[in-house]
């Protein structure tokens, strides 16, 4: 009789695990049953703002593999099915069917890939019509439906993180008047304040009404239950549509109720092979888990699709009888706001100090290509290093076209525990259409090295 693997959540981590396990084990040896509460599988949630903006023409362009395509590969995907309980003693899950009613399914192996949950404060009116998080493709469809049905003219985006700034741009591109409300003094709290300030300036230049240091108190609804305005300590901001960009937290309710261990970061605890310690045959991956930060050595939960796919692959290889481990994260991420590219990796200054490092930092201004070459744009690079040793701790880049992917050089240096002194000699490519003769990353490394040595 075939062994049964049940997968809870059929997006990045879950289906990466299922696909890897299927490649290594025949369907007569391993039955794979995946439950997904939404209506889509294996899609790019990161692409949703660009679809809403009209930069991606078709919603289906964001879908890497449909449920039908998974089924063709002998992975039984059931959409609209919500796993509402896990019984570890009986080794069974309870599933709510699309038309109501519940069924029970036994498992030999269980893959928990429940993803992240958007932060939704207990504000008055937050459950009103036209108030949307942007976590899933279904959420993106709901935003688009509200824009169409209301003939929306004004939007308020609450939160200045990745989703917030990306959705602000998307709604501006759709012709709406957009207000972005953020409690902090600068957007993008994954950057140091001096770098986040540049993001705020770019949003204002794109005609987003940026309101920093403002605390939301609730959402006013009209007589039909639609959003009418966002109320704050700085007044009321009219809105036909409200987008919540307040970040995510690990989706661990199911795991917690089942008795699986939850770590200090709020994510499910796993080992390097993505197994849940103390629970034979239980695996977890994606935005619902915590992993080790390679700089601090501490557990963190960082919701990124890159991490989820890698973790799912590791779990799937192990489920399929192979051996793989997940080495940890740096939190490397890039995004774009209007014409401004934004990137970061490792630790911010405040994070490094909180972790116990004595830090120095350096900020330099340069160009994305040779200054005399057509299309040359400005770029700001910031590196954070340990005082004394010069060990690289983190980096941030903000600039024009061609700026953001330079963060990969910084990430590789960070991954390999390089010092800023060592970085100054990196043999990077040069030609005027691609870089100044001294690449901005090298200029920043020299400046950081000078700061280290006083």
Residue range 159-197, pLDDT digits in tens = 999 999 999 999 999 999 999 999 999 999 999 999 999
Rounded Cα distance, 76 and 15, in Å: 11
Reported in sequence order, the residue ranges of 370-412 that DSSP labels E, i.e. its strands, are 378-386, 392-399
Q: What local confidence, expressed as pLDDT, does residue 1 receive? A: 79
- Using alpha carbons, select from 242, 183, 243, 240 the residue that is nearest to residue 210: 183
Q: What local confidence, expressed as pLDDT, does residue 435 receive? A: 96
Average pLDDT over residues 30-35: 98
Q: What local confidence, expressed as pLDDT, does residue 363 receive? A: 98
Please tell us whether the domain made up of 120-246 is placed in CATH 3.50.50.60: yes
Q: What local confidence, expressed as pLDDT, does residue 166 receive? A: 96
Q: What local confidence, expressed as pLDDT, does residue 454 receive? A: 83
Split at pLDDT 50, 70, 90, the class of 151 is confident
Average pLDDT over residues 382-392: 98
Q: What local confidence, expressed as pLDDT, does residue 360 receive? A: 98
Can you tell me which residue has the tokens 């695996």?
A: 283
Q: What local confidence, expressed as pLDDT, does residue 150 receive? A: 84
Whether the per-residue pLDDT at 228 is higher than 90: the answer is yes
Q: pLDDT tens across 391-416, in order?
A: 999 999 999 999 999 999 999 999 99
Split at pLDDT 50, 70, 90, the class of 271 is very high
- φ, ψ of residue 311 to 5 degrees: the values are -65, -40
Rounded Cα distance, 112 and 451, in Å: 46
Instruction: Please name the residues in contact with 444: beta carbons below 8 A apart, sequence gap of 6 or more.
Output: 362, 363, 364, 381, 382, 383, 395
Give the CATH H-level superfamily of domain 3-117+249-319. FAD/NAD(P)-binding domain (3.50.50.60)
Whether the per-residue pLDDT at 433 is higher than 90: the answer is yes
Rounded Cα distance, 203 and 182, in Å: 13
Q: What rounded mean pLDDT belongs to the chain?
A: 96
The CATH classification number of 339-452 equals: 3.50.50.60
Enumerate the CATH 3.50.50.60 domain ranges in the chain, comma separated: 3-117+249-319, 120-246, 339-452
DSSP designation for 70 = H
Average pLDDT over residues 419-448: 97
β-strand partners of 296: none
Instruction: Please name the residues in contact with 136: beta carbons below 8 A apart, sequence gap of 6 or more.
Output: 38, 40, 45
- φ, ψ of residue 321 to 5 degrees: the values are 100, 0
Rounded Cα distance, 414 and 394, in Å: 7
| Rg of the chain taking only CA atoms, in angstroms | 23
Split at pLDDT 50, 70, 90, the class of 334 is very high
Predicted TM-score (pTM) of the model is: 0.94
Whether the per-residue pLDDT at 5 is higher than 90: the answer is yes
Q: What percent of the chain has pLDDT over 90?
A: 97
Average pLDDT over residues 335-354: 96
Split at pLDDT 50, 70, 90, the class of 226 is very high
Average pLDDT over residues 329-351: 96
Average pLDDT over residues 71-82: 97
C-alpha 199: how far from its chain's center? 18
Residues acting as catalytic residues: 46
Q: What local confidence, expressed as pLDDT, does residue 276 receive? A: 98
Q: b/e map of 124-149 (b: 16 or more CB within 10 Å)?
A: ebbebbbbbbbbbbebbbbbbebbee
């Amino acid at each position: 009789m075939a062994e049964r693997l049940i997968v809870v959540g059929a997006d990045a981590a879950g289906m990466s695990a299922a696909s890897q396990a299927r490649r290594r084990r025949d369907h007569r040896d391993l039955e794979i049953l995946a439950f997904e509460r939404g209506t889509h599988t294996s899609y790019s949630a990161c692409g949703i703002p660009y679809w809403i903006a009209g930069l991606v023409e078709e919603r289906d362009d964001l879908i890497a593999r449909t449920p039908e395509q998974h089924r063709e590969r002998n992975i039984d995907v059931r959409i609209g099915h919500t796993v509402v309980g896990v019984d570890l003693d009986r080794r069974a899950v309870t599933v709510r069917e699309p038309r109501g009613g519940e069924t029970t399914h036994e498992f030999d192996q269980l893959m928990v890939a429940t993803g992240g949950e958007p932060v939704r404060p207990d504000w008055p009116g937050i459950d009103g019509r036209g108030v949307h998080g942007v976590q899933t493709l279904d959420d993106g469809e709901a935003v688009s439906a509200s824009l169409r049905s209301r003939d929306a003219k004004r939007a308020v985006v609450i939160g200045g993180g990745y989703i917030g700034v990306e959705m602000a741009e998307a709604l501006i591109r759709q012709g709406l008047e957009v207000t972005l409300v953020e409690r902090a003094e600068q957007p993008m709290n994954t950057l140091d304040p001096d770098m986040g300030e540049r993001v705020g300036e770019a949003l204002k230049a794109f005609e987003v009404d940026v309101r920093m240091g403002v605390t939301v108190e609730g959402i006013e609804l009209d007589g039909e239950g639609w959003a009418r305005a966002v109320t704050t300590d700085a007044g009321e901001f009219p809105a036909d549509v409200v987008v919540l960009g307040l970040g995510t937290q690990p989706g661990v309710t199911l795991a917690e109720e089942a008795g699986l261990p939850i770590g200090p970061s709020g994510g499910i605890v796993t080992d390097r092979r993505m197994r849940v310690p103390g629970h034979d045959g239980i695996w977890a991956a994606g935005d619902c888990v915590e992993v080790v930060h390679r700089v601090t050595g501490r557990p963190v939960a960082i919701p990124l699709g890159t991490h989820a796919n890698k973790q799912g692959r590791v779990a799937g290889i192990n489920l399929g009888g192979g051996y793989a481990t997940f080495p940890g994260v740096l939190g490397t991420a890039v995004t774009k706001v209007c014409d401004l590219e934004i990137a970061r990796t490792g630790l911010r200054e405040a994070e490094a100090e909180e972790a116990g490092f004595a830090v120095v930092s350096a900020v330099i201004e340069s160009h994305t290509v040779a200054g005399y070459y057509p299309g040359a744009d400005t770029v700001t690079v910031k590196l954070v290093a340990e005082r004394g040793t010069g060990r690289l701790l983190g980096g941030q880049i903000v600039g024009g076209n061609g700026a953001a992917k330079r963060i990969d050089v910084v990430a590789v240096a960070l991954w390999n525990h390089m010092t800023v002194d060592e970085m100054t000699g990196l043999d990077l490519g040069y030609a005027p259409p691609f870089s100044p003769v001294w690449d901005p990353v090298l200029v920043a490394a020299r400046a950081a090295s000078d700061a280290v040595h006083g």
